[in-house]
Structure 1
Amino acid sequence: PEVSVDANDEVHVLKGAEAVAYGSEAIAGVILLGQKSLPYGGEAVGGTLATSYGSNGRRYSGLLKLEGAVPKLSSLAWRGQVSYSHGGDRETAKYLLENTGVRELDYSLSLGWRHDLWSVEGYFSQYRNKTGLLPSGHLKNSNDIQTLIDLGQPQTFRPFSYEIDFPYHDVVHSLYLVKSKYRGGRWGNFSVNASMQSDERNEFNIRRNNRSSSPTLALNLTSYQLDALWQKPYNRWNTELGVHLNSTDNYSTPDTGVPPIIPNYTELGYAFHLVQKYSSPKWGAELGLRIDQLALAVDGYNIFREHVQAQRNFTNLTYSLGGHYRPNKAWTLTSQLGLAFRAPHVHELYSIGNQHGAAIFIKGDSTLRSERGYKWVNSVSYTGERLSCSLEAYLQLINGYIYESPDRDSENRPEYYTTISGTYPSFSQRQEDAFFRGVDLEASYRLPIDGLTYRAQASMVWANALKSGALFPYIPSFRFSHALQWAWGVSESLSLDFALKHMYVAKQTRFDPSIDIAAAPDAYNLVGLEFSCTKKLKRGSLRFLLTGDNMLNTLYKEYTNRARYYAHDAGRDIRCSLVYSF
């Protein structure tokens, strides 16, 4: 689902056995977005008022967040938030990207009660988004689309505009959530979370005969989820048991005049998980286990007016076994071995139609089976007085790896598919046994100059078919980023922060050019700058932030971005923000 950044205050990264609680796709780790604790017992209303402007797209935004406790009822607390963003056409280093404006409006409300051992919180949020799509990849014939891909950029341009014309996406995502916790002392801690999510997605394309105002795709997805969790720490052990139930119903409005890219479907699933952890000053071990059962039923019509009706059942097992060892305060060694089954998504099984955002024609494969992956991760980290660094390496075997790849005809030329809205490159879902390897490196060093720190990150991934050795498409290339940061405390009430950033992304050479429809883009370098000034006030603080991305205005393309077939990535963007917290 679409997510509002402003409605979430906290970001947590979970790795290891704990991640199995979030399903088989989280075996490598999971990023959790959430809200900070409500201000129970607070005596005054607090909050944040912020505004910002970005040069690329000339976009402006505003945020208001308020929170507090109910007077004379300190066990009741609340929080409300609303934000809005308005942007026009984005631009690359050389040209404008026509019809790439965006409108975002989101708001949320939380209300909670906490008393002794119990707490109950209710949360509601709604996120609205209207995003324009680059029209250059639409309404083309096969010769025009091949010429456009060979050129690699639009052939027509318009002056800057805030107007969002066809094609565009219009999305409304609503979330209702109730969380309850009970701290049971020697009986452990219990929590039950129940949620309902609603997604309304309308996609508008350039249509002939003045029909553009009617959506070509109108999806309504409703999902329910119930999670119950029990946790019990004792001595050096920690046990966690969880039960998960979920139901999803996807319905496509039938009067669009275009068969939906995926048929109507329902999913009903349940899962159980167990996490057992042991920790001592020198070493620790953990075990995670999860069993999922998923029932999928589809019923609808595809673009060939064929009735698609099927039922699939998947039983998936996920486990993670790991441990760490600390020979001293500075060094930590970690190893983790995991197995995960991943059921294919509905769009991987039954998609057939135009994917508007990427301007491609995609075909699913109803015979796909569950992926089965084995992953072994090892890491070593060092934390010293000035230097901190970590090196992580992994091996992963995936039986039945699912991926998208361009279609080729009998003469090995790119295949195209013509619809009523134009001609598009044809892609299909494929499945093959795969072998992945990767390395991640992070380091930071506090220089002798007070407040000055150097940070660096690097990552590399290799992936190929297990039997033939063929290289897979759309695997990230080598990248290296580093930054020099300086934090200067001018006085007790005034602080300044500076940062100079650089990222290098290599050209992807580890792929088979004969299966792609365009050559891999060249390597590129991006330079960024940051400056912030924070002033403490009698109540709260005032912060000014100035950020610059792609300061050298480099013309580049990211290999993993499908939009590279039709345009370059964004050029220089300078943003300024003013944030008042109280």
Structure 2
Amino acid sequence: MKRFFSKNFALWSMVVLSLLSTTLPAFAQNSNSFRIIVFDAESQLPVIGVSLSRHKDIAPTKGDGILQISPSLLKGDSLHLHAIGYLPLTVAVQEVRHHQPLRVQLRPMSNQLNEAVVSGQRVLHTQNAVSNSITTADIAKNLGNTFAGMLEQVSGVSMIQTGSTIAKPVVHGMYGNRLLIMNNGVRQQGQQWGVDHAPELDASAAGRVTVVKGAEAVRYGSEALGGVVLMDAQPLPYGQRKIMGKLSGLYGTNGRKYAVTQHLSQSFPLFGGDAAWRAQGTYVNGGDRSTGSYLLNNTGMREVTASAALGWRNSRLELQGFYSFYSTQVGVLYSAQMGDEELLRERIKIGQPVNFYPWTRSIDYPHQKVVHHVGKLEGRYTFANKSRLSVKTAWQHDDRREYNQRRNYRSMVPTLDLRLNNFQTDAQWKHTYADNWSSEIGAFYGAIDNYNEPGTGVVPIIPNYTQQNLGAYAIQKYTGHDWGAELGARADHQTIDARGKNIFGENYGNLTRYTNFTYSAGAHYHVLPQLDVLTNFGTAWRAPHVHELYSYGVEQSSGLFARGDSTLRPEVSAKWVTSLRYASKRITASVDAYLQWIDHYIYDEPTKEVITMVSGAYPVFQYRSDNAFFRGIDADFSARITPKLHYTVGGSMVWANETKTNRPLPYIPSFRATQSLAYHFGHLGHLHDIHAKVTHRFVAKQTRFDAKADLIDHTPPAYQLWGAELSANFVMRNGHHLHILLTADNLFNLTYREYTNRFRYYAHDLGRDVRLMLTWDF
């Protein structure tokens, strides 16, 4: 018990602080007036400039988002709130009288066709790029879910899995080092090179997540072939003088998982400017998961995360510091570790475990432990001519340990013990002039030092290596009334020095240097009042990772033996994405189509060999490369059938094959579509925003499949999953809100397999999961 509380001291401290904060006098009501506090429904920040219709005597909201209303003006049945860029909101006068202060939310107008996604004052991507965003409200619903699982809400995004707890996002068939993840403006660097290595990220810590589907190599450099995932926390609450936050708790039936997360924020004056802070912590604990038919032994997980940000700004200068901590332990399904070759082939033939043990919350061997730290310092200065200079430096440390069942009581000694240190710094200068023109230039430097900790008793799967990246870019934009365009170019240089010893004690590795030039061109055009078209063409590149070049060993969670190829060449890509977006009062629709050509596309496929080691027998997967052609389409449609009934449907399809032989590439997602029907009941007493939704997901059988590139000669059949959601807000007398959310996935407990799950050889996917989540906003 003592160890538990000491390990999670930061998390428990924030929970206690949130309870104490509700007693602060800052929330005391002014007896001479009524108050309405207005928040942005997506960012959860106070909204500035909110006013009341037909009440010109009431001052609009300022930085704290508060409307002060005298009792003499509180007449009639309702008040009408409006602000530029937001949908109007009607509030019952009776609610204002009985709930003080009353907290309400304004929803931003849906106008993502001609705007860039902005977090605070930093533009995250160009308005000429095709992108989709996940709002704060949708992110909050994914407490306890994986980062990749949360991203599946976006059409064209799926995930490649290794069992029930490890998943990586897939965008247009691209995953791993082809998909760049920006964590609060920092390039995510960890041991994410293996399919069985998930990104070291807490999905619940994000304020907004944006998936940019084009090749964004000009702005972000290498590894952005498939696109960029921008994960940013909520902007610091400048002007918010009171401690505000939320506390969420969750329980899920599958794995008997429970989770708690805490967010706190405040602003205060400092040194003639405005300072603000934000803190967050999450704890997740789950036991053995289950399919629709049986238990998956040793699939429990633990996760502890925390982050804090502190910023200061005045009219010209803004400074910000950020730190995050991520720690996880995940169990590996027993069935992935086979005793000998005969047993391996028999288990693959059966397709599921043959031995079952009682459910447990404990995690046995084999398992993984990962600890990841991120620290960032950032400064932005605005010159008199309105140009802006941003400088940012960041540090990351990643510690990955993998444990197997070993003889002679050595299971507690990791078979893989990797340490990674990363330093990166970049600078950007942006200037807008002549009303329509803007220029942007930037430079980046990054260094990685990755080494194997000695003493494991096992030859490391990859050698020690150092890597250095240097890049510079320039982008020129024109933005008119109905259209805009941009051109960009970038130069990159990368050096990798890898050195190691193989199982025979022989030295291997090499010093390699890569230089590449990339460019992009994009445009958007407002064709009709409701119709926009966006198009973007860009080149990108990616050097082969050390894992693809030199790996020789077991990928623990995947249950396979990986073998690299030191002759692999860099991937070079060209991608063209075009999007049509339609939006009216009742209907929104979008269609994204893309073509992508990749020279020297790198992937692994089975050789039909089996290597038997002390820990078991493993199929051999060899890395190779071929020229490849990807193309596909994403589509979304949403209709407001009645003011309370809302229907949405979205689907995606991707084709990928070698250009020379036309052979289908492995592990490409099959066609999938998701539809939902939602009904808004309104309010009942103190319950507000009562909402019910039914979802249906269809995933087709992957028929574009080459049996020679797989362990088995067939793909799983198509499957359909149903889900449900019921939510409501309970308004307390002190104005605080309690959000109640009940969700169910795989409602009918279907037993199925997903083609892109590498554990499909040994087990089925997850069964029914019913989750109850309570969130207290204060």
Query: TM-score normalised by the shorter chain: which range applies?
Result: over 0.9
Picking from 684, 697, 701, the partner of 1:503 is 697
What CA distance in whole angstroms lies between the structure 1 residues aligned with 2:692 and 2:384?
47
Q: Which amino acid aligns with 1:178?
A: L
Change (3 A) 1:215 1:28: closer
Q: Which position in structure 1 is the counterpart of 2:459? A: 259
RMSD of aligned residue pairs (Cα, Å): 1.7
Change (3 A) 1:83 1:577: same
CA contact (8 A) 1:20 1:27 kept: no
Q: Does 1:303 pair with 2:303? A: no
> Superposition pairs for residues 136-535 of structure 1, below 5 Å?
136-186=335-385, 188-234=387-433, 235-407=435-607, 414-447=608-641, 449-490=642-683, 494-518=688-712, 519-535=714-730
Partner of 1:6, secondary structure, is: helix
Change (3 A) 1:141 1:579: same
CA contact (8 A) 2:215 2:537 kept: no
Q: Which amino acid aligns with 1:64?
A: Q
Instruction: Spell out, residue by residue over 1:329-383, the C-alpha distance to the aligned partner (whole angstroms, 9 max, x if none).
Output: 1112222222112111111111110000111100111111011112222222222
Picking from 253, 274, 293, the partner of 1:55 is 253
Deviation of the 1:168 alpha carbon: 0.3
Partner of 1:147, secondary structure, is: helix
Q: Which position in structure 2 is the counterpart of 1:119? A: 318
What CA distance in whole angstroms lies between the structure 2 residues aligned with 1:277 and 1:27?
22
Change (3 A) 1:405 1:37: same
Change (3 A) 1:384 1:76: closer
Partner of 2:285, secondary structure, is: strand
Instruction: Spell out, residue by residue over 1:248-292, the C-alpha distance to the aligned partner (whole angstroms, 9 max, x if none).
Output: 000101110001111000001111122222121222212222221
Q: Which position in structure 1 is the counterpart of 2:295? A: 96
Partner of 1:415, secondary structure, is: strand
What CA distance in whole angstroms lies between the structure 2 residues aligned with 1:304 and 1:54?
48
Identity %: 43
Q: Which amino acid aligns with 1:453?
A: H
What CA distance in whole angstroms lies between the structure 1 residues aligned with 2:661 and 2:213?
32
Deviation of the 1:98 alpha carbon: 0.4
TM-score by length of 2: 0.72
Q: Which position in structure 1 is the counterpart of 2:233? A: 35
CA contact (8 A) 1:17 1:286 kept: no
Deviation of the 1:19 alpha carbon: 6.1
Change (3 A) 1:7 1:334: closer
What CA distance in whole angstroms lies between the structure 1 residues aligned with 2:756 and 2:371?
27
Deviation of the 1:72 alpha carbon: 6.9
Change (3 A) 1:60 1:17: closer
Partner of 2:408, secondary structure, is: coil
Deviation of the 1:420 alpha carbon: 2.1
Q: Which amino acid aligns with 2:540?
A: A
Deviation of the 1:399 alpha carbon: 1.1
Picking from 571, 576, 579, the partner of 2:772 is 576
What CA distance in whole angstroms lies between the structure 2 residues aligned with 1:517 and 1:221?
33
Instruction: Spell out, residue by residue over 1:510-540, the C-alpha distance to the aligned partner (whole angstroms, 9 max, x if none).
Output: 0111331122111100111111111344343
CA contact (8 A) 2:292 2:766 kept: yes
TM-score by length of 1: 0.96
CA contact (8 A) 1:360 1:424 kept: yes
What CA distance in whole angstroms lies between the structure 2 residues aligned with 1:205 and 1:31?
33
Deviation of the 1:488 alpha carbon: 3.1
Q: Which position in structure 1 is the counterpart of 2:212? A: 14
Partner of 2:505, secondary structure, is: coil
Change (3 A) 1:72 1:255: closer
Q: Which amino acid aligns with 1:207?
A: R
What CA distance in whole angstroms lies between the structure 2 residues aligned with 1:376 and 1:45?
46
CA contact (8 A) 2:215 2:226 kept: no
Change (3 A) 1:389 1:336: same
CA contact (8 A) 1:131 1:169 kept: yes
What CA distance in whole angstroms lies between the structure 2 residues aligned with 1:509 and 1:5?
33
Instruction: Spell out, residue by residue over 1:209-268, the C-alpha distance to the aligned partner (whole angstroms, 9 max, x if none).
Output: 221111000000000010111111221122211110000000101110001111000001
Instruction: Spell out, residue by residue over 1:383-418, the C-alpha distance to the aligned partner (whole angstroms, 9 max, x if none).
Output: 2232211112112111111111111xxxxxx21112
Number of aligned residues? 575
Deviation of the 1:154 alpha carbon: 0.8
CA contact (8 A) 1:316 1:342 kept: no
Q: Which position in structure 2 is the counterpart of 1:410? A: none
Q: Structure 2: give runs of 5+ residues left out of the alignment.
A: 1-189, 191-199
What CA distance in whole angstroms lies between the structure 1 residues aligned with 2:693 and 2:206?
25
CA contact (8 A) 1:386 1:446 kept: yes
Q: Structure 1: give runs of 5+ residues left out of the alignment.
A: 408-413
Deviation of the 1:16 alpha carbon: 5.2
Deviation of the 1:27 alpha carbon: 4.7
What CA distance in whole angstroms lies between the structure 2 residues aligned with 1:216 and 1:558?
29
CA contact (8 A) 1:18 1:275 kept: no
Deviation of the 1:187 alpha carbon: 5.1
Deviation of the 1:76 alpha carbon: 2.1
CA contact (8 A) 2:216 2:225 kept: no
Q: Which segment drifts farther, 246-255 or 273-282?
A: 273-282
What CA distance in whole angstroms lies between the structure 2 residues aligned with 1:208 and 1:264?
27
Instruction: Spell out, residue by residue over 1:91-119, the C-alpha distance to the aligned partner (whole angstroms, 9 max, x if none).
Output: 00001100000011111121111122111
CA contact (8 A) 1:16 1:322 kept: no
CA contact (8 A) 2:208 2:233 kept: yes
Picking from 739, 745, 766, the partner of 1:543 is 739
CA contact (8 A) 2:420 2:448 kept: yes
Deviation of the 1:67 alpha carbon: 1.4
CA contact (8 A) 1:557 1:564 kept: yes
What CA distance in whole angstroms lies between the structure 2 residues aligned with 1:106 and 1:439?
36
Q: Which position in structure 2 is the counterpart of 1:565? A: 761
What CA distance in whole angstroms lies between the structure 2 residues aligned with 1:378 and 1:77?
40
